[in-house]
């Protein structure tokens, strides 16, 4: 995990009691993490009354520094020792290091889930709908009398809020084959591999 100088400068600003006083340090870190996890509180730190008396440009730099540090730490799943070494270099007091590490540990998993969702992937199947029809006749052919399944796979596509659908039909034999042949094999493999 490597951080560039501008990030380290920002972090160092957050560590200085003259810029971010001890009384509002914990609130500052909490707001920063909230800004990552909750879309609606993104950048609300600038209007926060607690930081009324602080220099806005310094607050901004400190915020972006700590934000980058926390995101990088979560991205690399950094050990607390690594993180505290960086903070010591940035002249953080032990109290401030403890506060930051504690808040980070509490929310690390949530930040990682969020980071894991970034990126591309094929449409992800989350549900399936089915409909069973009995095909009796058509304009070309009578007495067909075959069951037909209409399957609709509901998928989540990265970057889109609505679910999308993949639809297809299959005969009874095909569905049996699909289930017994493919899906169950696939299930067995998955669970063997992850040791569940």
Partner 1 sequence: MLLMFEDHHKEHLSFLTDTDIDVVKEFCRISMDFIRKGANPKVYLGAAQKLKVEPETVQHGVEGLMYLLTESSKLMLNEIDFQDSILTLGFSEEMRQTLLQLYLQNRKEIRTILSEMSMDLPHYHNLEWRFDVQLGSRSLRRQTTPTVLFKLHTEESGLRETTVLQTDPVNLVHMTKVLDEALQEIKSSYCRRILRNIK
Residues 105-124 that bind partner 1 (CB under 8 A): 112, 115-116, 118-119, 121-124
Contact between 183 and partner 1 by CB under 8 A: the answer reads yes
Rounded CA gap, 120 and 143, in Å? 47
Q: Shortest CA distance to 175 belongs to which of 130, 123, 122?
A: 130
Angle CA 137–138–144, to nearest 5:
35
194 sits near partner 1 (criterion: CB under 8 A): yes
Q: Shortest CA distance to 68 belongs to which of 91, 98, 90, 93?
A: 90
Query: Among residues 42, 94, 130, 165, which is the contact residue for partner 1, using CB under 8 A?
Result: 130
Task: Give whichever of 103 and 153 is closer to partner 1, judged by the CB atom.
Answer: 153
What span, in angstroms and rounded, lies between the C-alpha atoms of 31 and 13?
16
If one asks whether residue 169 binds partner 1 (CB under 8 A), the answer comes out as yes
Q: Which two tokens stand for residue 57?
A: 């440009």
Q: Which of residues 134-153 bind partner 1 (CB under 8 A)?
A: 134, 136, 138-145, 147, 149-151, 153
- The span from the CA of 64 to the CA of 32, in Å, is 9
Binding site for partner 1 (CB under 8 A): 74-77, 112, 115-116, 118-119, 121-128, 130, 132, 134, 136, 138-145, 147, 149-151, 153, 155, 166-172, 174-176, 178-179, 182-187, 189-191, 193-194, 196
């Amino acid at each position: 995990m490597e951080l560039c100088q501008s990030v380290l400068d920002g972090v160092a600003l957050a560590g200085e009691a003259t810029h971010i006083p001890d009384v509002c340090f914990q609130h500052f870190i909490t707001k920063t993490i909230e800004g990552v996890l909750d879309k609606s509180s993104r950048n609300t730190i600038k209007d926060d009354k607690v930081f009324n008396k602080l220099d806005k440009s310094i607050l901004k730099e400190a915020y972006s520094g700590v934000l980058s540090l926390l995101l990088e730490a979560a991205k690399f799943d950094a050990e607390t020792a690594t993180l505290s070494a960086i903070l010591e270099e940035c002249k953080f007091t032990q109290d401030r290091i403890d506060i930051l590490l504690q808040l980070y540990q509490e929310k690390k998993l949530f930040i990682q889930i969020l980071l894991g969702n970034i990126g591309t992937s094929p449409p992800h199947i989350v549900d399936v709908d089915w409909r069973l029809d009995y095909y009796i006749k058509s304009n070309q052919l009578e007495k067909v009398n075959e069951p037909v399944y209409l399957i609709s796979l509901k998928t989540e596509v990265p970057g889109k809020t609505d679910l999308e659908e993949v639809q297809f039909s299959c005969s009874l034999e095909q569905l049996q084959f699909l289930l017994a042949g493919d899906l169950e094999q696939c299930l067995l493999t998955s669970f063997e591999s992850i040791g569940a």
